[in-house]
Every structure is written in structure tokens, then in C-alpha cells.
Structure 1
Amino acid sequence: MPASVSLTDLQERIGLRFADESLLRLALTHSSYANEHTDAVGSNERLEFLGDAVLGLVVAERLYADFPDIEEGQLTQWRAHLVQGPTLARVAGRLELGRWLLLGRGEDATGGREREGNLAHVYEALIGAICLDSGPGGGMDGARRFIERSLEPEITGLQTDPAELNPKGVLQQLAEIELGRPQYVTTDERGPDHAREFTVEVRLGGEVFGTGCGGSKQQAEKQAARQAVLRLRERLDAEAPALDATSGAE
């Protein structure tokens, strides 16, 4: 955590105040930092374990309440999408949690603040810390409010944009007629075996339309596909007025 960044700033950012700031600090402590600092009380891994369980329960409750006409299979798919690493990393990115991560020197120097796995894990650890805190914004109710508030855009988007759930399928439908089948190319692979990081490009007609990173090739491909869908939609929208004008001229 840079010296210029304080826990007070973070609490303002996430909209709650901890009664026990040591819980918040622990939630931000990556194992690489704990290994380098003898004064660290531990890493955020146990809080991540707790937060993961709380997150799954809250998301399941919310989906059950909000979508009474949706079958179990679809609810299961939606829940899996909402609690997967890329989704949580995106939410953590919106909250800028990477700014406050406590990282070891090597992890920090190699892009650890933007690494998908670190962001997803710190989001889950933060949920665990909120759940354990005794302040007015803490406890299970506080964790539920935080999860629902921070995940609201993703929950709202479940029924409005199929690219959120199946970006590769949507990209293939958009591209196949004119640009051909998307090609996914792994351009980089780094990190230890337990924390691999893959970078994948998706190409259409030989042109790179999107790049994604993730803890697996599948996750990286999905992220690249989402980016490509946005870019391809923009291109198709830009071409539509020109086509309309041509049709009108006839």
C-alpha cells in the first residue's frame, strides 16, 4: 500500500467505517507481504475463505428473491457467473482495491495490483472482514449490503446482456457471417504453477479485436471475447447509419 494511501480513504471509497481496522488491514494483506514482514499477523487467505462462503449465500438469496420465475439451472449458471474470478476482479477494479493491497516487493513489481486473482481474492477477503466487524456497517447484514451494492451492475445486467454470461458465443454469432470464426491465441503465460496468469488475444479476420487476462486460458478467452463484443458492436453501430443512408438513396 503506497504511503500516500490511507485506510480512511478506502473506507470512504467503499462506503463504510470499520470498528476494528485491523480486520480491514488483514483483508488487504497478500501472502507475499506476510512472508516478507515479520510484524504481519498473517495473510488474507482465511478471510477470503469466509468471504467466499458469505458471497455465495448472499448471491443465491438475491437471485432466488429477484427472479421467482427462473428455473434452478439458470439460477445456478447466473450464480456461477457472479462469483467467478473475472467478475469479482472487475468489481474490485471499480472499487480500486488494488491501490490498497499490501504486496511483497516481487509481487508488486510484476503487476500484482492489477492481477485478476489478487483482485478477486481481496474482494472476497473484504467481505469476510466486514462480516466479522462489530461496527454498524459490519456483521452479516453489513456484508450483505456491501455485496448487493457493489455487485448491482452485474446483477442488473444478467437479463439484459447475454454477452456477460456467454461472451464467446455472442462474439461468434456477431462475427461469423462477415469476419469468420474467432481465433483465440495465447500470447503470454507467466507466474508460478499455483498462480498462473494467461494473456489471450481474440482475432477476427486476422485483426486483434480483444485482449484478456486470467488465471486460466478459459477465463482469459472470455475476457478477450467481452472486449471484442464491445468493439464489434461499436463498429456495427457505426456502419448501420451508412447502410441506412445508402438504402434511402435508392
Structure 2
Amino acid sequence: MSDIAEERKKKLARAQDILEYRFENPSILLAAITHPSATEGKPVKFSYERLEFLGDSILGAIVANEAFHAYPELDEGGLTRIKVALVSGTSLASVAERLGFADVIVFGSSERGTGRRGLHSALENVYEAVVAALFLDSGIEAAQAFVSRTLIPKMSLDMAKEPENPKSALQEKLQEEGITPTYKLVETQGPPHDRTFISQVFAGMKALASGMGRTKKEAESQAAKAALDKFDFGTDKDAKAKAKAEKNRAKAEARAQAKAEKEAQAQARAEAKAAEKAARKAQG
């Protein structure tokens, strides 16, 4: 057995000890702890990238369910702040490091000797990927048990009162105007093991601001922060007036888009109805 294979075998065994769970399909867990730098030239399924995508959604649902039942007195805003705080990159990386995930991540040669530049984001990504791996191997109960043991103990009512994550703060600001912000990844720079992401935040069809980060989440957070700085925190009358005008313009554009979509749908229904009527007349 090669040194690389032996190293991965040991890390896989250690990861299962950390998780307190034995996998029916260990290859899923191996992928979950494998950094993209260790799979260059191989299909994406051999690293944590795809699992991270699935795990993010599963983790969000588990945390939302826990918060919903733990704090029945909280409104949507408070529950959102708790969820955002718990699933933030900093929170997940901290929990993953405390569990010992830094010692089980399989890095490629390009990451060795560099101080593991992406260790923080790797820890966050591996935590999410592990949640997905547990879900795929044994169902939601296994994923929920892991999250409940490792992450949920950090949850507290105080999180509902803490300064908000820029994304949730922007969402609350814009929803006052009936707008829900959306995010779009517009550019990815660098090699797979050392990527930089650039995202834009939109209100309707209007781009508000852009942000850059080592992860997609960080890029979105920076975009939201830039939007807040641009539109919400003017210090003089002119700046505040400009911010208000920009918000009103974004609101008008969002409403215009919704109206146009509604009219298009109505037109399509009318055309379909007319075509059906003509067909019946032709048959008659």
C-alpha cells in the first residue's frame, strides 16, 4: 500500500472516530474530507465540493428546525439571526477545528508546505460536506444527530440580539420596501485549491453592489455589506437623500419587473385560450 493510500486510510478511520459513526459506504466520507487540491485531474465527486453544496441546505434546515422549536417566542427576524450566526463560516470552522477536522482533511501536494492557506474555508466546507455524507449514508437522523451534538450546543437566545450578519441585515432593510435581495456569482478566480469568488447582490434586476471572498458565502456577505454601506448609512442629508432615492428606484424596478412578468403570464394564458377556441372551432 502506498504512503498516500495509507495516510488516507488513517484519516478516514480518525474521521469516523470523530463522528462517532461507522459508514456503510466509507468512500462518501473520504470525499467529504478531501480538499479539491488532492483530486486535480479527477471528477469533482472525489472531493468535498458537491457534498458541501448539499450539506449547506441540509444544515440550514436542521438549524432552522432546532431554533424554531427552541424559541417559540421569537419572530422571523430573531430566528434568522440565530440561524445565520450558527451556520456562518466562522462558526462552522471553529466547531470543525475543535473536533479535530484539521488533522483529517486530505490535502494535495500543492497545499503542503504553504501553511494550508485555505484551512479556514476548508474546515467550514468539510463540516458541511460531512453533514451531507451522513445524510447520504444513513438519512436525516444521522446528520441531525451529528449537528445536534456538535453545533446546536452553541445556539443561544443571545444570538437573536447580536449585530446581524450583513446578508440578514440587508434582507430586513429591503423587505421593509417589499424587496427580497438575490445573489449571483459573477466570477471565480484562481486555481481550484486557492479560489477567490466575486458575487453581486441584486434588488429585482438592479445590481446594488459586489463583494469578494475566499468562499461564496464570504463574497455574498461582502456584497451585502457594500450594499448596506452604499444605501443605508449616509452621514449627511445629501447622502441620505441619495440612498433613499436609490432604494426607491430599486423598489420601482422590482415592482415593474413583477408587473411585466404578470402581464406576460396573462398574455400567454389569453393566447393559449384563443388557440384552444380556434382549434375547437376548426374541429366543429
Tell me if TM exceeds 0.5: yes
CA deviations 1:48-78 (Å, max 9, x no partner) are 1110010000000000000000111011111
The equivalent position to 1:23 in structure 2, one of 6, 20, 28, is 28
Deviation at 1:21, TM superposition (A): 0.6
The 5 A counterparts of 1:81-120 are 81-112=85-116, 115-120=119-124
1:148 aligns with 2:153: no
Please tell me the residue identity of whatever aligns with 1:159.
Answer: D
Q: Residue in 2 aligned with 1:159?
A: 158
Q: Residue in 1 aligned with 2:19?
A: 14
Deviation at 1:196, TM superposition (A): 4.9
Please tell me the residue identity of whatever aligns with 1:131.
Answer: F
How far, CA to CA, are the matches of 1:56 and 1:47 in structure 2? 14
Please tell me the residue identity of whatever aligns with 2:145.
Answer: R
In 1, are the aligned partners of 2:92 and 2:127 still within 8 Å (CA)?
A: yes
Percent of pairs with identical residues: 34
Bigger shift: residues 106-115 or 72-81? 106-115
1:58 aligns with 2:62: yes
Deviation at 1:102, TM superposition (A): 1.2
Give 1 or 2 for the bigger CA radius of gyration: 2
In 2, are the aligned partners of 1:27 and 1:47 still within 8 Å (CA)?
A: yes
Distance 1:84 1:109, change over 3 A: same
Distance 1:30 1:58, change over 3 A: same
Where does the alignment leave 5 or more consecutive residues of structure 1 unmatched?
A: 169-190, 198-213, 220-250
How far, CA to CA, are the matches of 1:39 and 1:196 in structure 2? 21
TM-score by length of 2: 0.53
Where does the alignment leave 5 or more consecutive residues of structure 2 unmatched?
A: 166-188, 198-213, 223-284
| TM-align CA RMSD | 3.3
TM-score by length of 1: 0.60
How far, CA to CA, are the matches of 1:9 and 1:32 in structure 2? 21
Deviation at 1:34, TM superposition (A): 0.4
Distance 1:128 1:9, change over 3 A: same
Deviation at 1:112, TM superposition (A): 2.4
How far, CA to CA, are the matches of 1:113 and 1:55 in structure 2? 25
In 2, are the aligned partners of 1:97 and 1:119 still within 8 Å (CA)?
A: yes
Aligned partner of residue 11 in structure 1, secondary structure: helix
